[in-house]
Amino acid sequence: MTLALLFPGQGSQSVGMGVALADAFASAREVYAEIDDALGQKLALLMREGPEDQLTLTENAQPALMAVSLAAVRVLKVEFDIDVSRAALVAGHSLGEYSALCAAGALSLADTARLLKLRGQAMQRAVPVGAGAMASLIGPKTDLALAEAAAKAGSEVGVCVVANDNNAGNIVISGDKAAVDRAIEKAKELGARAIPLNVSAPFHCPLMQRAADEMAEALSGATLLGPRVPVVANVTARPETDPETIRRLLVEQVTGRVRWRESMEWMAGEGGITRFAEIGSGKVLTGMAKRIAPDAESVALNTPEDLEAFAKSFN
């Protein structure tokens, strides 16, 4: 089977995530300790005990989700001798792209943690709380054309764009609150359900330009190597290996669309992937994979038992 590793994005966090890995494996605890040292905070304790409102803060959720993913990657390598290089491709949803790059050796663990902490803070600073909004358009009639039409209606009163093209039936719009409200009305007229999202900022839209500028400065000083496994970028939905191209695309990703459906379709088609494994917290990407690429195998690797079973499948 040709394998791709997937790394989850914001929304997959929950109090207690990654605790079973830490309790079972010293290698996972070492990852959490390295990240705590890099950030100068007790992130592992926050993941274990909460409170949930602090873990959900963007500046904490982003490095925390990365921490669980990289702990699982470390466990696979140290305990089961399964290296990331066994995969043909890696990809991550939004912040998960940083996890993918770290797993593939393009970024160090400490740098990844610091970049994600800054990314979360910068995204929060970019727009005053309450000024922006996001909404999920869902249902069998929801496709990219419908979402684009809804966003166009919203853009008559402010910034409104498609932020996440997750899969058919699940597309997220983002922008000024008034514009998103107008887009929600239009989406309902067109036959979609629209659910406002409980987010602290309008991610992946032009309102995030200030955050993109901050990330451009931070990334310019970060050491970024060629990944050992090609990384399918959110912005291009294609595999990338050139460090400078990756650096530029990470900046563009802050304001740009997460082209996840296209990424998955490419991997399952031209990429030849027949097995997707989501590494980290939750099963969001696994669900999407089953809808986008139903002929491929899709598994979520959350627990020690998941990792052990996955490792045995290679024998």
Please state, for a pLDDT cut of 90, what percent of the chain lies above it: 95
Res. 29: pLDDT tops 80: yes
Q: With a cut of 90, say whether residue 12 has pLDDT above it.
A: no
Fold identical between 3-126+207-312 and 132-199? no
Fold of 132-199: Alpha-Beta Plaits (3.30.70)
> Which has the minimum average pLDDT: 52-61, 80-89, 105-114?
52-61
Mean per-residue pLDDT for 153-169?
A: 97
Q: Across residues 15-44, what is the average pLDDT? A: 97
pLDDT at 315 (0 to 100): 66
Q: What is the pLDDT of residue 213?
A: 98
Q: Which candidate in 204, 263, 281, 298 is catalytic?
A: 204
When pLDDT is cut at 50, 70 and 90, the band that residue 241 belongs to is very high
Write down the domain spans for the chain.
3-126+207-312, 132-199
Give residue-wise pLDDT tens across range 184-213.
999 999 999 999 998 888 999 999 999 999
- Quick one: pLDDT at residue 79? 96
pLDDT in tens, 137-150: 999 999 999 999 99
Query: Which tokens go with 251?
Result: 């900046």
Residues 28 and 15: their CA atoms lie apart, in Å, by 17
Distances 294 to 168, 273, 281, 290, 309 between C-alpha atoms, Å: 13, 12, 22, 5, 21
* 135, 128 Cβ separation under 8 angstroms: no
Query: What pLDDT score does 129 carry?
Result: 85
> In terms of pLDDT, which residue wins out, 277 or 198?
277
Q: Is 60 helix (H, G, I), strand (E, B) or coil?
A: helix
Which fold, 3-126+207-312? Answer: Malonyl-Coenzyme A Acyl Carrier Protein; domain 2 (3.40.366)
**What average pLDDT does range 289-296 have in this prediction?**
97
pLDDT at residue 1 tops 80:
no
Report how far residue 50's alpha carbon sits from residue 36's, in angstroms, rounded to the nearest whole number.
15
Query: Of 12, 27, 94, 200, which is the active-site residue?
Result: 94
Catalytic status, residue 204: yes
- Cα dihedral across residues 132, 197, 69, 231: positive or negative: negative
Contact in structure between 174 and 205 (CB atoms under 8 Å): yes
pLDDT score of 103:
98
